Amino acid sequence: MEDLKTLRIKKQMLQIEKRKDFHQENILKNNLINKLIKNHLTKFVQKVRKIADVRSVVKKDIMQMNVQTGNNIQKKSGY
């Protein structure tokens, strides 16, 4: 399902198609297409950042577990 921003932009594009001034119409269409692209890229970047944040947290957790495991091994072995 498309979000409200995308639907609004598509509605504006349909309104522009009804106009007679082709040059102005093309400029406005290009602007709206650029907005759509920017909107989708923004969402994509947000998803990538979330994934990177999760990976960072998981990596820190794994490093912490490795340190704890190493400490436990040292305690058991007497070093």
| Tens of pLDDT, residues 52-71 | 888 888 888 888 887 877 77
In angstroms, the Cα distances linking 17 to 4, 14, 33, 57, 74 are 20, 5, 13, 48, 73
pLDDT on residue 59: 87
Question: Residue 28: is its pLDDT beyond 90?
Answer: no
pLDDT on residue 32: 93
> Per the structure, how many domains does the chain have?
1
Domain that holds residue 28: 4-77
